[in-house]
Amino acid sequence: SVTSAVGKDTVLPCIFKPEDPKVKITQVAWYKKNENGGNIEVAILNAEHGTSIFGTYDGRVEKHGKSIDKDGSILLKKVILADEGQYLCRVTTFPAGNFEQPLTLILMIRPHMDIHPGPMLVEGQRNKVAASCTAEGLPRPTIQWKTELDGDIITKNMSSHNMLSVTSEFIVRPERSMNEKLLTCVVSHPALVKPKEASHTVKVQYPPEVKIYGYSKAWHVGMKEVVLKCEAKANPEPAKYSWSRMNSSLPEGVIPSNGTLKFKNALAIEDEGVYVCRVTNKIGTREGSVDVKISLHMTRNVDFVPLVLIAIGVLAVVLLFTLLLSVVLINRYHKKKTQELAIKLEEISTMSRQTSLKRINSVNTDVRLQTKEPLIVYMTLVCSQTSFPLFKSMLDKREDERYSLSTITTVREMEVQTDPVPTTVPEDDDLSSPQSIQEAMNHFQQQNGTLRAKPSANGIYVGQRGQFV
């Protein structure tokens, strides 16, 4: 099948390729089926006699290919709706015979569209047609609405004269906010490259919305050239303005002029009151009011904006100064702590070095400064004394015991002066061995039941009551 649009040039294709190259095409004939199923001659393309066009197709149909051996198609110019239907392409060959191929032409009619505004819209009405859109074509077009308005859509389909049409209505509840809004009808159709659009500007009529300007609390006695202005938004435009004062007539010297009320004289206390502006248009009448108060003396309006700006500036400066001061103090605090930590680390390092030096010097100094040896020897000697039964009878006497201890200490001092000190200190087990006890006894002699140190050239003798050097 071939699909085309009314008014467009359309090619009806017919191409035959025989399998046997010896087969030759002698003629291509085109027919259109009528309502009764019969064939209506459209064109004959003959290899020897040329092209023949018949009936109403004369002047509208021509050969499309250069040679019927390769292309038996025809071109139907500016097709009309009557051209839609079924066609037959019959190919005559020698010696193979005739071959036929049916073809259906489907025509589309580009849609025609119209948009129509609805009746006058008035605020407060319900379910009114803002606009309707109609599109007619073949096949049937489709309609969509593009707008920012809220509303309902009603669609109706119709057909006439082989054409299919559709009508769409956009239903709204009129409000003044809808006034001057755009309502766009969008029509889509297969025959269109892109959708067609048509727009309508919605008009909504509404009564006046009244506001009065010009009055301020600075009005005072003696003030001149003051004016009240009445502004009204309405559709259609206001037709009449009227001024009045509630519970009283307008003061003397006050001149109303449409939307303005001029005070010709200087203000007085008597000019106070509620002033009313009444506005009328085709839809209705609305009014606005203002309560005018007049002070006895002129009041100065204090402009707080500069004061606020100054306060903000001062606050910003204070905050900035506080921030900078905090940064400086924190830096100083951390610097001080760092210095104190460095001094303490230096003191610890110095004390550590001094302790190390003292330890080194204590090893290399005079052996007489070492106190550990006398204690070890003392304990050894005590153990040695308790090892012999000879001294058990003497231990009960306190005087002899002190004398023996003094003698042992003196002998140890004599050993420190005369004998070299061993580099290592023997363990406790070695000091209590028999060999150690025997070596210790070599420095003593027994006289009258008393253990006394042997005489030495460098020794110092400590007695009970005196000392001899």
Judge whether 2-108 and 208-292 match in fold: yes
pLDDT at 340: 86
In a structure prediction context, what are the per-residue pLDDT tens digits for the chain, which is 469 residues long?
899 988 899 999 999 888 888 889 999 999 999 988 899 999 999 988 889 999 999 999 999 988 888 889 999 999 998 899 999 999 999 888 889 999 999 999 899 999 999 999 999 999 999 999 999 998 999 999 999 999 999 999 998 877 899 999 999 999 999 999 999 999 999 999 999 999 999 999 999 999 999 999 999 999 999 999 999 999 999 999 999 999 999 999 999 988 999 999 999 999 999 999 999 999 999 999 999 999 988 766 556 677 788 889 999 999 988 988 899 999 888 888 888 888 888 888 888 777 766 655 554 444 444 444 443 333 333 334 444 443 344 434 444 444 444 444 433 443 433 344 444 444 444 444 556 566 666 666 666 666 666 665 444 444 444 333 3
pLDDT at 304: 65
pLDDT at 346: 83
Alpha carbon of 365 to those of 270, 444, 459: distances in Å? Answer: 120, 29, 22
How do strand 97-117 and strand 128-138 relate by DSSP bridges? antiparallel
pLDDT at 183: 97
What is the SS3 assignment for 106?
Answer: strand
Q: Residue 48 carries which side chain, given as an amino acid letter?
A: E
Instruction: List, in order, residues 6 or more apart from 52 with CB less than 8 Å away.
Output: 43, 44, 46
Fold of domain 2-108: Immunoglobulin-like (2.60.40)
Q: DSSP assignment, residue 282?
A: S
Greatest CA span in the chain, whole angstroms?
A: 179
Per the listing, tokens 């201890």 go with 405
Q: How far apart are the first and last CA of the chain?
A: 151
pLDDT at 115: 97
Helix H or strand E encompassing 31? strand 24-33
pLDDT at 301: 54
Its pTM surpasses 0.75? no
Please give the Cα distance from 444 to 453 (Å, whole number).
4
Q: Where are the domains of the chain?
A: 2-108, 118-202, 208-292, 302-365, 367-468
Please give the Cα distance from 315 to 337 (Å, whole number).
33
Count H helices, E strands: the chain?
Answer: 5, 27
Please give the Cα distance from 361 to 364 (Å, whole number).
5
Q: Would you state the CATH architecture of domain 118-202?
A: Sandwich (2.60)
Q: Would you state the CATH architecture of domain 208-292?
A: Sandwich (2.60)
pLDDT at 350: 82
pLDDT at 437: 62
**Per-residue tokens: 235:** 């559709």
Please give the Cα distance from 439 to 433 (Å, whole number).
10
Q: Residue 274 carries which side chain, given as an amino acid letter?
A: V
**Per-residue tokens: 62:** 């021509």
Residue pair 128/203 in contact by the 8 Å Cβ criterion: no
Please give the Cα distance from 207 to 280 (Å, whole number).
8
Please give the Cα distance from 467 to 216 (Å, whole number).
124
290 closest CA partner among 336, 243, 249, 335: 243
Please give the Cα distance from 57 to 6 (Å, whole number).
15
**Per-residue tokens: 464:** 């009970």
Question: Residues 403, 406, 410, 412: is their CA dihedral positive or negative?
Answer: positive
196 closest CA partner among 131, 134, 148, 106: 134
Q: How many CB atoms lie within 10 A of CB 456?
A: 14
Q: DSSP assignment, residue 308?
A: H
Alpha carbon of 416 to those of 391, 412, 421: distances in Å? Answer: 26, 6, 7
**Per-residue tokens: 76:** 């139907």
The answer to whether the peptide bond before residue 236 is cis (omega within 30 degrees of 0) is yes
